Structure 1
Amino acid sequence: MKPKKRTTIYDIAEKLNLTASSVSRALNNSSNVNEDTKKLILKTAAEMNYKRNVLASNLRKGESKTIGVVVPRINQNFFSNVIAGIEEMTYAKNFNLIICQSNESHEKEIKCVNALINQHVDCIIISVAAEGNDYTHLKNVIDHGIQLIQFDRVVEDIDTLKIINDNELATLEAITHLITEGYKRIALLEGPQNLDIFKQRKTGYLKALAQHNLPIVEELIIENAWTKELGAEATRKLLSLPEPPDAIFASTSDFSALGVLEVATSMNFKVPGELGILGYANEPFTELTSPSITTIDQFTHHMGKTIATLYFQETQTKDTTIVPRTISIKPKLIIRASTSKSQVI
């Protein structure tokens, strides 16, 4: 069935033999329209099922009341919770939210950003994909006069408001916890080093080893093991070494840590007695595995609310330019059974 044509102010004007400008003024409750005429226009508009084009109206005022969000993956707890936090605040301000995912593809990220620019959004909030090192498309956002806010995965040399976690400190505390529990040969599953968050986590790992006089063993550092499958593959390699690690820190994600746990279980390594496992992000499943997985909570919903709140606070001033700066949120280590070696009897 063919959808009915949307009623416009021109349709109402034609039916009432009035000008479109008169109809527009009446619908906007202008005092320059006779009250009887205004009532007639409003009655006719309701009968014709007229719906105001809010986007067009807002654009005429120089804003769209729409914010775009670009994330690597919507179905990851971290990003979905950030989006939920943003939405809570934008809904309260009568702003619309458009959500796009890059699927870790640089090419798709560019398409998402360009689509949002073409929709005249007021702001684009982004966590960049793992692929790519050319961020011309982000500079293009700024060139179009659209606010750009980066979170979690950010591009340092683009001056915008950035909301991040203190990844280095969180990792330092996590590795210190493992060492305190008696683990000495700790492996690191690291993410793509072109992303600052993974570089910072590696720095925290190296600092913790240095502070406790433990050697850096290159064969215990596995690159790009940041999915469940890659985490499992890395674990098979690590646990097959002549001298395997006694703990594995999946600094990339809890999904990687889940891959570690599954392989360790299949290879009959006792967790946490023979192998400690530590993840990152506090995905809901980490409480449900056996044993439950120690992880790092990034306060994602709070991060989302912080992002939106800062946007609204700063754009309510006369100068609507957001001051480039970095806001850091301290994550929290959530200790569970997978690293509680001292509790094993």
Structure 2
Amino acid sequence: MKPKKRVTIYDIARKLNLTASSVSRALNNSSHVNEATKQLIVKTAAEMNYKPNTLASNLRKGKSQTIGIVVPRINQNFFSNVIAGIEETTYQRGYNLIICQSNEAHDKEVQCINTLINQHVDCIVISVASEGNDYAHLQNVIDHNIQLIQFDRVADELETLKVVNDNQQASMEAVSHMITQGYKRIALLEGPQNLDVFRQRKAGYIAALKAHGLPVDEELIVANSWTKDLAGPAVRTLLNLPQPPDAIFASRDDFSALVVLEVATDMGVKVPEQLGICGYSNEAFTEVTSPSISTIDQHSVYIGKTISNLYFQEMDNKNKDTASTPKTISIKPKLIIRSSTSR
């Protein structure tokens, strides 16, 4: 069965033998159409199941009432909660969201951005992919006069609104906690160091070791370990060292921490007695593993709400012709101590 054709104002105009402009004015409750004609047009539109094209209407007004969001992975708790926080606030203001994921690929991120620009969104919110460090596509957003807000993983060289975590302080607190539990050889599973967010976490790890008088052992700092395929062999290598670590800080995310737990269990290494484990991002599974995994909560829903409020504040400033300057809002994460680091 062929789908029904969308009813337009031209269809209503033909049925009533009126002009399309008269129908449009009536449906927009214009005072330039007499009341009897207006009621007839509204009644006929309802009978014909007419639905206004809000996108076209908004574009005529110079706004699409739409925000585009690009995240590395939608199915990660942190990113999905940020999206939920954005939606909760923007829905109340009549905005719609278009959500894209880059799958950590630079080319796909560029494609997502170009699609959103072509959709005439009012704002693009992004946490950049781990692959690549060329941000010409984000400059293109700015050049199109589309508001750009970066969060969590950001391109520092672009002067845009940013909402970030205090990653260095959070990592320092996590490693300091493990040290106070008696762990002395703490390994680090790095995130991609081309991204500032992971450089900050590494800096926090190093700062905690130095603050407690422990050496920074390069043998215990592992790069290229942020996927399951990479983290598994890396953890095995660490645990097979002549002097293996007695704790591992998986600074990339909780999925890396879960790999540590799986490998340790497979190798017969007891957690937390012989090995402490701390992740990052407070994924839902960290509370139900055995043992439960210590982690860092980034207040993801609150980050989403902060992003939305920052956008609306910026729009209000523009409407008032108030000059705005690039702002960075930093939110303090929370260390959640669970069984995997509690000796």
CA distance in 2, matches of 1:45, 1:244: 74
Within a 5 Å distance, the mapping from 1:258-297 to structure 2 comes to 258-297=258-297
Q: Could you tell which deviates more after superposition, 205-214 or 146-155?
A: 205-214
* Aligned match of 1:335: 337
Amino acid at match of 1:332: K
Q: What's the counterpart of residue 33 of structure 1?
A: 33
Q: In the alignment, does 2:199 pair up with 1:174?
A: no
- Give the secondary structure class of the aligned counterpart of 1:316: helix
| Inter-partner Cα distance in structure 2 for 1:53 and 1:16 | 20
Shift of 1:15: 1.3
Deviations 1:75-133 (A, max 9, x none): 00000000000000011111001100000011110111111111110000000001111
Q: Tell me the CA shift for residue 325 of structure 1.
A: 1.5
For 2:256, the equivalent position in structure 1 comes to: 256
Q: 1:325 is matched with which residue?
A: 327
- CA displacement at 1:320 relative to structure 2: 7.5
CA–CA separation in structure 1 for the residues paired with 2:322 and 2:181: 50
Distance 1:270 1:319 in 2: 62
Q: How many residues get paired?
A: 341
Whole-Å Cα distance in 1 between the matches of residues 7 and 272 of structure 2? 66
Per-residue CA shift, 1:228-286, capped at 9, x if unaligned? 33222211010011110010000001000000001001111111111110100111111
* AA matched with 2:275: L
1:229–1:256: 8 Å Cα contact kept in structure 2?
no
AA at the equivalent of 2:341: T
1:86-105 equivalences under 5 Å are 86-105=86-105
SS in 1 for 2:5: coil
CA contact (8 A) 1:188 1:222 kept: yes
Return 221-230 or 94-103, whichever deviates more: 221-230
Is the Cα contact below 8 Å between 1:147 and 1:322 reproduced in 2?
no
2:198 and 2:165 map into 1 onto residues whose CA distance is: 11
Residue 137 of structure 2 is aligned to residue 137 of structure 1 = yes
Give the superposition deviation at 1:212.
1.3
Partner in structure 2 of residue 50 of structure 1:
50
CA drift at 1:156:
0.2
Question: Aligned with 2:296: secondary structure?
Answer: strand
Q: How does 1:153-302 map to 2 (within 5 A)?
A: 153-302=153-302
Structure 2, unmatched stretches of 5+, are: none
Query: In 2, distance between residues paired with 1:110 and 1:64?
Result: 21
Query: Which residue pairs with 1:67 in the alignment?
Result: 67
Q: Aligned letter for 1:206?
A: I
Query: In structure 2, the residue corresponding to 1:264 is in which secondary structure?
Result: helix
Give 1:220 deviation, angstroms.
0.6
Distance in 1 separating the partners of 2:326 and 2:89: 21
Contact 1:168 1:200 (C-alpha < 8 Å) held by counterparts: yes
User: Which deviates more from structure 2 when the two are superposed, residues 44-53 or residues 219-228?
Assistant: 219-228
The amino acid that maps onto 2:337 is I
* 2: CA distance, partners of 1:271 / 1:172: 21
SS at match of 2:85: helix
In structure 1, distance between residues paired with 2:146 and 2:205? 37
With the length of structure 1 as denominator, give the TM-score of the two structures: 0.97
The alignment partner of 1:140 has SS state of helix
**Pair 117,79 (structure 1): closer, same or farther in 2 beyond 3 Å:** same
Which whole-Å CA distance do the structure 2 matches of 1:101 and 1:42 have between them?
41
SS of corresponding position for 2:125: strand
Alignment CA distance shift 1:244-1:82 (3 Å):
same
Residue 99 of structure 1 aligns to a residue whose secondary structure is strand
CA 320–62 in structure 1, closer or farther in 2 if over 3 Å, else same: farther
SS of equivalent residue, structure 2 residue 329:
strand
Deviation at 1:319, TM superposition (A): 3.1
SS of equivalent to 2:149: strand
CA distance, structure 2, for counterparts of residue 184 and residue 331 of structure 1: 24
Q: Is the 8 A contact 1:82 1:302 kept in 2?
A: yes
**SS state at 2:206 partner:** helix
- Structure 2 distance, partners of 1:319, 1:223, is 47
Counterparts of 1:290 and 1:12 in 2: how far apart (Å)? Answer: 65
How far apart in 1 are the matches of 2:270 and 2:4?
A: 65
